[in-house]
Amino acid sequence: MIERFGLQVKTHENKMRLEDFLFDRFRTLSKLYLRNLVKSEKCEVNGRFENRGFKLRSNDFVEVELEPSRQNSMVPESIPLQIVYEDDDLIVVNKPVGMLVHPSHRDKSGTVLNALSYYLNRDPACPHIRPGLIHRLDKETSGLLVVAKNPRSHRKVATQFEMKSVEKKYLALVEGKLTRAEGVVEAPIGRYLEQKFWAVKEDGRPAITKFKVLRQLDDATLIELEPVTGRTNQLRIHCAEIGHPILGDVSRGGRPFSRLCLHSALISFRHPSTVSVVTFEMPADFGTAISAN
């Protein structure tokens, strides 16, 4: 049932963005739903329709029409997660292989966000925390994933991703032996609609990846990958493009393997509250592929 809510902006909410104010007041509702309410003029500030970035002032009066019982796609689920770091602003997890980061149209459960929705709200006496996804990892990619615990932290760290000031490094096991110790791959990436497949495409978006050889194995190479841009499947596509597909990436020429050998190993950025640089590292577990060589 649609209800109309009247909310007065408190002193500590002065200069808060309208969307952040709504996210904070209606924490069990999805961000997309709340943003659409603002876009479709279901929300007024002092009797006027404003955009989601509008800066509120103390004692402003916000009225919004919404369905408070609307189900959030992030249904809390008790799923074990490896927590690498946590404070009042952020939580960093080591995402396992085969786990989706967020619910999709086909998969509504079993994701990292389902697990975090449960973990962060174990105590019903505490304010509800909505996990805010800042960046993504493919289902078959493992490694470090940073999630915000409040809108302010989400916006500050997400801006760093947009400005490309975040340092990200991946580890990958690729086919064969690379002849160069390091290099740069520049190849545009686009989607072939009929095949529903992302690949190098002449009219695609520019994509750049740096690589460095870490260790030569008998029939594979352990490399470090640093994405300069962030296109869909970029690292997998660029490795295949230089003739060294990632082990387990069968669709791009890699041999069958127990997993996709791609891992988010390092991430570094400025903390949203302290502004100091924080760096997180997590070694890859590629099974017996490395230990056997």
> Which residues are marked as active site?
138
Place of tokens 């190098």: 200
Write out the two tokens for 89.
């602003």
Q: Using an 8 Å Cβ cutoff, are 74 and 117 in contact?
A: yes
Interatomic CA distance for residues 269 and 31, integer angstroms = 24
User: What's the N-to-C CA distance of the chain in angstroms?
Assistant: 62
* Partners of residue 149 on adjacent β-strands: none
- 3-state secondary structure at position 262: strand
Q: Using an 8 Å Cβ cutoff, are 278 and 86 in contact?
A: no
Interatomic CA distance for residues 241 and 80, integer angstroms = 36
Amino acid identity of 293?
N
Interatomic CA distance for residues 240 and 252, integer angstroms = 6
Place of tokens 């975040």: 166
Interatomic CA distance for residues 163 and 130, integer angstroms = 24
